[in-house]
Structure 1
Protein backbone atom coordinates (compact mmCIF):
# COMPACT_ATOMS: atom_id res chain seq x y z
CA UNK A 1 0.00 0.00 0.00
CA UNK A 2 1.74 3.14 -1.24
CA UNK A 3 -0.50 5.74 0.40
CA UNK A 4 -2.35 4.60 3.54
CA UNK A 5 -3.96 8.04 3.97
CA UNK A 6 -5.72 7.85 0.62
CA UNK A 7 -6.66 4.21 1.22
CA UNK A 8 -8.28 5.14 4.55
CA UNK A 9 -10.31 7.88 2.84
CA UNK A 10 -11.38 5.46 0.10
CA UNK A 11 -12.69 2.96 2.64
CA UNK A 12 -14.65 5.44 4.78
CA UNK A 13 -17.69 7.15 3.30
CA UNK A 14 -17.68 10.68 4.70
CA UNK A 15 -21.49 10.95 4.78
CA UNK A 16 -21.88 7.76 6.81
CA UNK A 17 -18.99 8.71 9.09
CA UNK A 18 -20.09 12.27 9.90
CA UNK A 19 -23.70 11.08 10.05
CA UNK A 20 -22.74 8.84 12.96
CA UNK A 21 -21.95 12.01 14.96
CA UNK A 22 -24.55 14.56 13.82
CA UNK A 23 -27.95 14.63 12.07
CA UNK A 24 -27.78 15.21 8.32
CA UNK A 25 -30.42 16.25 5.79
CA UNK A 26 -30.09 15.49 2.09
CA UNK A 27 -30.40 18.57 -0.13
CA UNK A 28 -29.89 17.75 -3.80
CA UNK A 29 -26.54 16.04 -4.30
CA UNK A 30 -25.20 17.23 -0.94
CA UNK A 31 -26.04 16.87 2.74
CA UNK A 32 -26.63 19.75 5.13
CA UNK A 33 -26.47 20.11 8.92
CA UNK A 34 -26.06 22.58 11.74
CA UNK A 35 -22.32 23.04 12.14
CA UNK A 36 -21.08 21.02 15.12
CA UNK A 37 -18.17 23.40 15.67
CA UNK A 38 -20.08 26.62 16.36
CA UNK A 39 -23.57 27.66 17.41
CA UNK A 40 -26.00 28.53 14.65
CA UNK A 41 -29.71 28.39 13.82
CA UNK A 42 -29.44 28.07 10.05
CA UNK A 43 -27.50 25.05 8.72
CA UNK A 44 -24.25 26.06 7.05
CA UNK A 45 -22.39 22.74 7.26
CA UNK A 46 -22.31 21.03 3.85
CA UNK A 47 -21.04 17.56 2.96
CA UNK A 48 -20.34 16.55 -0.62
CA UNK A 49 -20.80 12.81 -1.08
CA UNK A 50 -19.35 13.10 -4.58
CA UNK A 51 -16.14 14.83 -3.51
CA UNK A 52 -16.00 13.23 -0.03
CA UNK A 53 -15.38 16.56 1.71
CA UNK A 54 -17.17 18.86 4.16
CA UNK A 55 -17.22 22.63 4.55
CA UNK A 56 -18.73 25.09 7.00
CA UNK A 57 -19.91 28.21 5.18
CA UNK A 58 -20.74 29.92 8.48
CA UNK A 59 -18.53 31.25 11.26
CA UNK A 60 -15.91 28.50 10.89
CA UNK A 61 -15.39 29.01 7.14
CA UNK A 62 -13.26 25.90 6.90
CA UNK A 63 -13.55 22.32 5.79
CA UNK A 64 -11.68 19.20 4.83
CA UNK A 65 -11.88 15.45 4.56
CA UNK A 66 -12.86 12.72 7.00
CA UNK A 67 -9.52 12.98 8.81
CA UNK A 68 -9.87 16.72 9.35
CA UNK A 69 -13.40 16.24 10.70
CA UNK A 70 -12.23 13.71 13.30
CA UNK A 71 -9.35 16.01 14.27
CA UNK A 72 -11.76 18.85 15.00
CA UNK A 73 -14.47 16.68 16.56
CA UNK A 74 -12.16 15.09 19.11
CA UNK A 75 -9.53 17.87 19.27
CA UNK A 76 -6.71 15.51 18.34
CA UNK A 77 -3.67 15.65 16.07
CA UNK A 78 -3.48 14.44 12.48
CA UNK A 79 -1.52 11.37 13.55
CA UNK A 80 -4.03 10.47 16.27
CA UNK A 81 -6.94 10.78 13.85
CA UNK A 82 -5.08 8.73 11.25
CA UNK A 83 -4.36 6.01 13.79
CA UNK A 84 -8.01 5.89 14.90
CA UNK A 85 -9.31 5.66 11.33
CA UNK A 86 -6.69 3.06 10.41
CA UNK A 87 -7.90 0.94 13.31
CA UNK A 88 -11.50 1.40 12.16
CA UNK A 89 -10.71 0.30 8.61
CA UNK A 90 -8.22 -2.44 9.48
CA UNK A 91 -5.36 -0.74 7.67
CA UNK A 92 -1.85 -1.38 8.96
CA UNK A 93 0.26 1.75 9.22
CA UNK A 94 4.00 1.61 8.89
CA UNK A 95 5.83 2.62 12.05
CA UNK A 96 7.63 5.41 10.23
CA UNK A 97 4.30 7.16 9.72
CA UNK A 98 4.19 7.90 13.43
CA UNK A 99 7.60 9.44 13.97
CA UNK A 100 5.85 12.51 15.29
CA UNK A 101 7.30 13.87 18.54
CA UNK A 102 4.13 15.61 19.67
CA UNK A 103 2.02 12.51 19.13
CA UNK A 104 4.47 10.21 20.91
CA UNK A 105 4.71 12.56 23.89
CA UNK A 106 0.92 12.77 24.13
CA UNK A 107 0.59 8.98 24.09
CA UNK A 108 3.24 8.67 26.79
CA UNK A 109 1.60 11.28 29.02
CA UNK A 110 -1.81 9.63 28.64
CA UNK A 111 -0.24 6.32 29.66
CA UNK A 112 1.32 8.07 32.67
CA UNK A 113 -2.06 9.46 33.71
CA UNK A 114 -3.65 6.02 33.43
CA UNK A 115 -1.00 4.62 35.77
CA UNK A 116 -1.59 7.52 38.17
CA UNK A 117 -5.34 6.78 38.07
CA UNK A 118 -4.68 3.12 38.88
CA UNK A 119 -2.44 4.25 41.75
CA UNK A 120 -5.11 6.58 43.18
CA UNK A 121 -7.82 3.92 42.69
CA UNK A 122 -5.81 1.32 44.61
CA UNK A 123 -5.22 3.69 47.51
CA UNK A 124 -8.90 4.60 47.75
CA UNK A 125 -10.28 1.07 47.67
CA UNK A 126 -7.51 -1.24 48.92
CA UNK A 127 -5.44 0.66 51.46
CA UNK A 128 -6.03 2.04 54.93
CA UNK A 129 -5.14 5.50 53.58
CA UNK A 130 -8.35 5.60 51.57
CA UNK A 131 -10.82 4.70 54.33
CA UNK A 132 -11.29 8.31 55.45
CA UNK A 133 -11.79 9.41 51.85
CA UNK A 134 -14.37 6.68 51.18
CA UNK A 135 -16.23 7.56 54.37
CA UNK A 136 -16.26 11.19 53.25
CA UNK A 137 -17.70 10.28 49.83
CA UNK A 138 -20.36 8.07 51.40
CA UNK A 139 -21.28 10.88 53.80
CA UNK A 140 -21.91 13.08 50.75
CA UNK A 141 -24.27 10.43 49.34
CA UNK A 142 -21.82 9.44 46.62
CA UNK A 143 -22.35 5.71 46.16
CA UNK A 144 -19.86 3.08 45.06
CA UNK A 145 -21.24 2.71 41.48
CA UNK A 146 -20.75 6.46 40.94
CA UNK A 147 -17.27 6.32 42.45
CA UNK A 148 -16.33 3.54 40.05
CA UNK A 149 -18.04 5.13 37.05
CA UNK A 150 -16.00 8.32 37.41
CA UNK A 151 -12.88 6.41 38.53
CA UNK A 152 -12.44 8.48 41.68
CA UNK A 153 -9.31 7.83 43.69
CA UNK A 154 -7.30 9.09 46.63
CA UNK A 155 -3.89 10.77 46.84
CA UNK A 156 -2.21 10.23 50.23
CA UNK A 157 -0.68 13.06 52.25
CA UNK A 158 2.82 11.86 51.37
CA UNK A 159 4.99 14.35 49.50
CA UNK A 160 6.40 11.87 46.99
CA UNK A 161 4.44 8.60 46.85
CA UNK A 162 3.18 9.12 43.28
CA UNK A 163 6.56 10.52 42.24
CA UNK A 164 8.32 7.35 43.42
CA UNK A 165 5.68 5.12 41.84
CA UNK A 166 6.03 6.75 38.41
CA UNK A 167 9.82 6.75 38.62
CA UNK A 168 9.64 2.98 39.11
CA UNK A 169 7.55 2.88 35.93
CA UNK A 170 10.46 4.46 34.00
CA UNK A 171 9.14 8.03 33.77
CA UNK A 172 11.60 10.89 34.23
CA UNK A 173 10.90 13.62 36.78
CA UNK A 174 10.93 16.39 34.16
CA UNK A 175 8.19 14.72 32.12
CA UNK A 176 6.13 13.93 35.24
CA UNK A 177 6.46 17.62 36.09
CA UNK A 178 5.53 18.74 32.55
CA UNK A 179 2.46 16.49 32.75
CA UNK A 180 1.31 18.41 35.82
CA UNK A 181 1.67 15.67 38.43
CA UNK A 182 4.62 17.26 40.22
CA UNK A 183 5.36 20.71 41.59
CA UNK A 184 8.88 22.13 41.48
CA UNK A 185 9.99 23.77 44.72
CA UNK A 186 12.08 26.91 45.08
CA UNK A 187 15.21 24.82 45.60
CA UNK A 188 14.53 22.73 42.50
CA UNK A 189 13.11 19.75 44.37
CA UNK A 190 10.03 17.95 43.04
CA UNK A 191 7.00 16.83 45.06
CA UNK A 192 3.51 15.49 44.37
CA UNK A 193 0.94 18.09 43.30
CA UNK A 194 -1.97 16.10 44.75
CA UNK A 195 -1.68 15.24 48.45
CA UNK A 196 -4.40 14.24 50.90
CA UNK A 197 -7.14 14.68 48.30
CA UNK A 198 -9.93 12.80 46.56
CA UNK A 199 -8.95 12.60 42.90
CA UNK A 200 -11.29 13.19 39.95
CA UNK A 201 -9.79 12.10 36.59
CA UNK A 202 -10.58 14.41 33.67
CA UNK A 203 -10.95 12.77 30.26
CA UNK A 204 -11.06 13.73 26.61
CA UNK A 205 -13.97 12.67 24.34
CA UNK A 206 -12.29 9.31 23.67
CA UNK A 207 -11.98 8.50 27.36
CA UNK A 208 -8.24 9.19 27.67
CA UNK A 209 -7.28 10.61 31.06
CA UNK A 210 -5.65 13.97 30.40
CA UNK A 211 -5.76 15.73 33.78
CA UNK A 212 -6.92 15.55 37.40
CA UNK A 213 -8.77 17.59 39.97
CA UNK A 214 -8.14 16.97 43.65
CA UNK A 215 -10.50 17.94 46.48
CA UNK A 216 -9.44 18.14 50.10
CA UNK A 217 -11.46 16.11 52.62
CA UNK A 218 -10.32 18.23 55.54
CA UNK A 219 -12.73 21.17 55.72
CA UNK A 220 -10.45 22.89 58.26
CA UNK A 221 -7.45 22.74 55.95
CA UNK A 222 -6.14 26.18 55.00
CA UNK A 223 -5.04 25.11 51.52
CA UNK A 224 -7.29 25.53 48.47
CA UNK A 225 -10.33 23.26 48.44
CA UNK A 226 -9.51 22.17 44.89
CA UNK A 227 -6.15 21.67 43.18
CA UNK A 228 -6.16 21.09 39.43
CA UNK A 229 -3.73 20.00 36.76
CA UNK A 230 -2.21 23.10 35.12
CA UNK A 231 -1.96 23.55 31.35
CA UNK A 232 0.09 20.70 29.87
CA UNK A 233 0.89 19.35 26.38
CA UNK A 234 -2.27 17.20 26.60
CA UNK A 235 -4.58 19.32 28.76
CA UNK A 236 -6.05 22.69 27.84
CA UNK A 237 -8.71 23.77 30.32
CA UNK A 238 -10.73 25.92 27.91
CA UNK A 239 -11.11 22.97 25.52
CA UNK A 240 -12.14 20.41 28.14
CA UNK A 241 -15.48 19.63 29.77
CA UNK A 242 -15.63 17.27 32.76
CA UNK A 243 -17.61 14.13 31.90
CA UNK A 244 -17.52 14.73 28.12
CA UNK A 245 -16.56 11.08 27.56
CA UNK A 246 -19.72 9.94 29.36
CA UNK A 247 -21.89 12.41 27.45
CA UNK A 248 -21.31 10.31 24.32
CA UNK A 249 -22.85 7.21 25.88
Structure 2
Protein backbone atom coordinates (compact mmCIF):
# COMPACT_ATOMS: atom_id res chain seq x y z
CA UNK A 1 0.00 0.00 0.00
CA UNK A 2 1.12 3.57 -0.60
CA UNK A 3 0.80 6.57 1.69
CA UNK A 4 2.11 9.02 -0.88
CA UNK A 5 0.99 12.58 -0.08
CA UNK A 6 0.06 11.56 3.49
CA UNK A 7 1.71 13.21 6.50
CA UNK A 8 2.20 11.14 9.65
CA UNK A 9 3.23 12.31 13.12
CA UNK A 10 4.64 9.65 15.45
CA UNK A 11 5.22 10.75 19.04
CA UNK A 12 8.09 8.98 20.76
CA UNK A 13 9.24 8.00 17.30
CA UNK A 14 13.00 7.60 17.77
CA UNK A 15 13.17 4.12 19.31
CA UNK A 16 11.34 0.88 20.02
CA UNK A 17 7.82 0.57 18.64
CA UNK A 18 7.84 4.21 17.56
CA UNK A 19 10.95 3.68 15.46
CA UNK A 20 9.36 0.68 13.77
CA UNK A 21 6.19 2.67 13.01
CA UNK A 22 8.21 5.53 11.52
CA UNK A 23 10.15 3.07 9.38
CA UNK A 24 7.02 1.32 8.14
CA UNK A 25 5.33 4.54 7.04
CA UNK A 26 8.48 5.90 5.36
CA UNK A 27 8.88 2.63 3.45
CA UNK A 28 5.30 3.07 2.26
CA UNK A 29 5.90 6.55 0.84
CA UNK A 30 4.52 8.72 3.66
CA UNK A 31 5.96 12.01 4.83
CA UNK A 32 6.83 11.32 8.47
CA UNK A 33 7.45 13.60 11.43
CA UNK A 34 9.59 11.93 14.09
CA UNK A 35 8.80 13.46 17.45
CA UNK A 36 11.27 12.95 20.28
CA UNK A 37 12.00 14.51 23.64
CA UNK A 38 15.43 13.41 24.86
CA UNK A 39 16.66 11.06 22.12
CA UNK A 40 17.86 13.60 19.54
CA UNK A 41 20.85 11.51 18.49
CA UNK A 42 18.67 8.46 17.84
CA UNK A 43 16.06 10.52 15.98
CA UNK A 44 18.64 12.08 13.66
CA UNK A 45 20.36 8.73 13.09
CA UNK A 46 17.03 7.15 12.18
CA UNK A 47 16.29 9.97 9.76
CA UNK A 48 19.67 9.55 8.06
CA UNK A 49 19.29 5.79 7.88
CA UNK A 50 15.83 5.98 6.31
CA UNK A 51 16.76 8.72 3.84
CA UNK A 52 19.72 6.63 2.69
CA UNK A 53 17.31 3.82 1.81
CA UNK A 54 14.43 6.02 0.61
CA UNK A 55 16.04 8.93 -1.18
CA UNK A 56 12.70 10.40 -2.26
CA UNK A 57 11.33 10.31 1.29
CA UNK A 58 10.42 13.33 3.36
CA UNK A 59 11.28 13.02 7.04
CA UNK A 60 11.21 15.70 9.71
CA UNK A 61 12.51 15.49 13.27
CA UNK A 62 10.89 17.70 15.88
CA UNK A 63 11.85 17.89 19.56
CA UNK A 64 8.86 18.36 21.86
CA UNK A 65 7.90 17.09 25.28
CA UNK A 66 4.35 15.95 24.49
CA UNK A 67 3.51 15.77 28.20
CA UNK A 68 3.76 19.58 28.27
CA UNK A 69 0.72 21.31 26.72
CA UNK A 70 2.70 24.40 25.73
CA UNK A 71 5.28 22.31 23.86
CA UNK A 72 2.43 20.45 22.11
CA UNK A 73 0.96 23.75 20.92
CA UNK A 74 4.37 24.71 19.56
CA UNK A 75 4.74 21.31 17.87
CA UNK A 76 1.44 21.60 16.02
CA UNK A 77 2.04 25.26 15.13
CA UNK A 78 5.33 24.13 13.58
CA UNK A 79 3.57 21.38 11.61
CA UNK A 80 0.94 23.83 10.37
CA UNK A 81 3.49 26.44 9.31
CA UNK A 82 6.21 24.18 7.87
CA UNK A 83 4.14 21.36 6.35
CA UNK A 84 0.57 22.63 6.36
CA UNK A 85 -0.97 19.20 6.62
CA UNK A 86 -1.50 16.24 8.93
CA UNK A 87 -3.32 13.05 8.00
CA UNK A 88 -2.30 10.48 10.62
CA UNK A 89 -1.41 10.89 14.28
CA UNK A 90 0.20 8.01 16.18
CA UNK A 91 0.20 8.68 19.93
CA UNK A 92 3.05 6.40 20.90
CA UNK A 93 5.04 8.28 23.56
CA UNK A 94 5.12 6.43 26.87
CA UNK A 95 7.14 5.65 29.97
CA UNK A 96 7.08 3.25 32.91
CA UNK A 97 7.78 3.90 36.58
CA UNK A 98 6.91 0.47 37.98
CA UNK A 99 6.59 0.13 41.74
CA UNK A 100 4.21 -1.50 44.15
CA UNK A 101 1.64 1.07 45.21
CA UNK A 102 2.87 1.20 48.82
CA UNK A 103 6.31 2.25 47.50
CA UNK A 104 5.07 4.57 44.74
CA UNK A 105 5.41 8.30 45.28
CA UNK A 106 3.39 11.08 43.68
CA UNK A 107 6.10 11.75 41.11
CA UNK A 108 6.08 8.10 39.96
CA UNK A 109 2.32 8.31 39.54
CA UNK A 110 2.04 11.75 37.98
CA UNK A 111 4.90 11.34 35.50
CA UNK A 112 3.29 8.25 33.98
CA UNK A 113 -0.18 9.85 33.87
CA UNK A 114 1.22 12.99 32.27
CA UNK A 115 3.32 11.25 29.63
CA UNK A 116 1.17 8.24 28.78
CA UNK A 117 -2.33 9.68 29.07
CA UNK A 118 -2.32 13.46 29.09
CA UNK A 119 -0.07 13.56 26.02
CA UNK A 120 -2.75 11.62 24.13
CA UNK A 121 -5.30 14.27 25.12
CA UNK A 122 -3.01 17.19 24.22
CA UNK A 123 -1.93 15.78 20.85
CA UNK A 124 -5.32 14.46 19.78
CA UNK A 125 -7.02 17.76 20.56
CA UNK A 126 -4.33 19.75 18.75
CA UNK A 127 -4.50 17.43 15.72
CA UNK A 128 -8.26 17.61 15.23
CA UNK A 129 -8.27 20.95 13.39
CA UNK A 130 -5.71 19.74 10.87
CA UNK A 131 -7.42 16.37 10.42
CA UNK A 132 -10.92 17.85 10.15
CA UNK A 133 -9.71 20.22 7.43
CA UNK A 134 -9.19 17.16 5.22
CA UNK A 135 -12.57 15.67 6.23
CA UNK A 136 -10.57 12.50 6.70
CA UNK A 137 -7.90 11.40 9.13
CA UNK A 138 -6.61 8.76 11.48
CA UNK A 139 -5.63 8.76 15.14
CA UNK A 140 -3.91 5.66 16.51
CA UNK A 141 -3.32 5.44 20.25
CA UNK A 142 -0.84 3.03 21.81
CA UNK A 143 -2.40 1.11 24.68
CA UNK A 144 -1.16 -2.22 26.11
CA UNK A 145 -2.38 -5.60 27.24
CA UNK A 146 -1.64 -4.18 30.70
CA UNK A 147 -4.95 -2.37 30.27
CA UNK A 148 -6.71 -5.74 30.15
CA UNK A 149 -4.48 -7.98 32.28
CA UNK A 150 -2.27 -5.68 34.38
CA UNK A 151 0.78 -6.85 36.27
CA UNK A 152 1.48 -6.16 39.94
CA UNK A 153 3.57 -3.05 40.34
CA UNK A 154 1.94 -1.27 37.40
CA UNK A 155 -1.02 0.57 38.89
CA UNK A 156 0.08 3.81 37.25
CA UNK A 157 0.95 2.30 33.85
CA UNK A 158 -2.13 0.05 33.71
CA UNK A 159 -4.41 2.94 34.62
CA UNK A 160 -3.11 5.03 31.73
CA UNK A 161 -3.37 2.23 29.19
CA UNK A 162 -6.93 1.35 30.24
CA UNK A 163 -7.89 5.02 30.08
CA UNK A 164 -6.47 5.26 26.56
CA UNK A 165 -8.88 2.55 25.39
CA UNK A 166 -11.86 4.40 26.91
CA UNK A 167 -10.59 7.71 25.47
CA UNK A 168 -10.29 6.07 22.04
CA UNK A 169 -13.86 4.79 22.09
CA UNK A 170 -15.33 8.11 23.23
CA UNK A 171 -13.35 10.24 20.76
CA UNK A 172 -14.19 7.88 17.89
CA UNK A 173 -17.88 8.65 18.42
CA UNK A 174 -17.24 12.39 18.53
CA UNK A 175 -15.32 12.64 15.26
CA UNK A 176 -16.77 9.86 13.10
CA UNK A 177 -18.94 12.31 11.13
CA UNK A 178 -15.81 14.29 10.29
CA UNK A 179 -14.30 11.26 8.54
CA UNK A 180 -11.74 10.67 11.30
CA UNK A 181 -11.14 7.19 12.66
CA UNK A 182 -9.73 6.63 16.14
CA UNK A 183 -8.38 3.25 17.19
CA UNK A 184 -5.96 1.82 19.72
CA UNK A 185 -3.35 -0.92 19.57
CA UNK A 186 -2.73 -3.04 22.66
CA UNK A 187 0.65 -4.76 22.29
CA UNK A 188 1.64 -7.64 24.52
CA UNK A 189 5.28 -8.42 25.29
CA UNK A 190 7.32 -6.81 22.51
CA UNK A 191 11.09 -7.14 22.12
CA UNK A 192 12.28 -3.55 22.69
CA UNK A 193 14.97 -1.74 24.66
CA UNK A 194 12.57 -1.67 27.60
CA UNK A 195 12.07 -5.45 27.70
CA UNK A 196 15.75 -6.13 26.98
CA UNK A 197 16.58 -4.72 30.43
CA UNK A 198 14.29 -7.20 32.18
CA UNK A 199 15.72 -10.04 34.26
CA UNK A 200 16.08 -13.22 32.18
CA UNK A 201 14.10 -15.34 34.65
CA UNK A 202 11.21 -12.89 34.48
CA UNK A 203 11.40 -12.85 30.68
CA UNK A 204 11.31 -16.65 30.62
CA UNK A 205 8.20 -16.64 32.81
CA UNK A 206 6.56 -14.10 30.52
CA UNK A 207 7.36 -16.15 27.43
CA UNK A 208 5.96 -19.28 29.03
CA UNK A 209 2.62 -17.50 29.43
CA UNK A 210 2.40 -16.64 25.70
CA UNK A 211 0.75 -19.37 23.60
CA UNK A 212 3.03 -18.58 20.63
CA UNK A 213 6.10 -18.92 22.90
CA UNK A 214 7.82 -15.81 21.65
CA UNK A 215 7.82 -12.07 22.13
CA UNK A 216 6.42 -9.88 19.41
CA UNK A 217 8.58 -7.73 17.16
CA UNK A 218 8.13 -3.94 16.95
CA UNK A 219 7.59 -4.38 13.21
CA UNK A 220 4.44 -6.41 13.92
CA UNK A 221 2.95 -3.49 15.83
CA UNK A 222 4.03 -1.12 13.05
CA UNK A 223 2.23 -3.19 10.42
CA UNK A 224 -0.92 -3.08 12.56
CA UNK A 225 -0.66 0.72 12.68
CA UNK A 226 -0.15 0.83 8.92
CA UNK A 227 -3.32 -1.22 8.40
CA UNK A 228 -5.39 0.98 10.73
CA UNK A 229 -4.28 4.04 8.72
CA UNK A 230 -5.04 2.40 5.37
CA UNK A 231 -8.13 2.57 3.17
CA UNK A 232 -8.86 -1.01 4.19
CA UNK A 233 -9.62 0.16 7.74
CA UNK A 234 -11.87 3.13 6.97
CA UNK A 235 -14.90 1.38 8.53
CA UNK A 236 -13.01 0.47 11.70
CA UNK A 237 -13.19 2.99 14.50
CA UNK A 238 -13.43 3.01 18.29
CA UNK A 239 -11.66 -0.35 18.53
CA UNK A 240 -8.60 -1.67 20.31
CA UNK A 241 -6.58 -4.25 18.42
CA UNK A 242 -4.73 -6.69 20.66
CA UNK A 243 -1.39 -7.93 19.29
CA UNK A 244 -0.04 -10.33 21.92
CA UNK A 245 0.61 -13.81 20.51
CA UNK A 246 -2.51 -15.11 22.25
CA UNK A 247 -1.57 -13.94 25.75
CA UNK A 248 -5.02 -12.56 26.57
CA UNK A 249 -7.03 -15.10 24.57
Question: Which category describes the TM-score, using the shorter chain as reference length?
Answer: under 0.3
Normalised by the length of structure 1, the TM-score is 0.25
Structure number with the higher helix fraction is 2
Q: Which has the higher contact order (CA 8 A, sep 6+)?
A: 2
Larger radius of gyration: 1
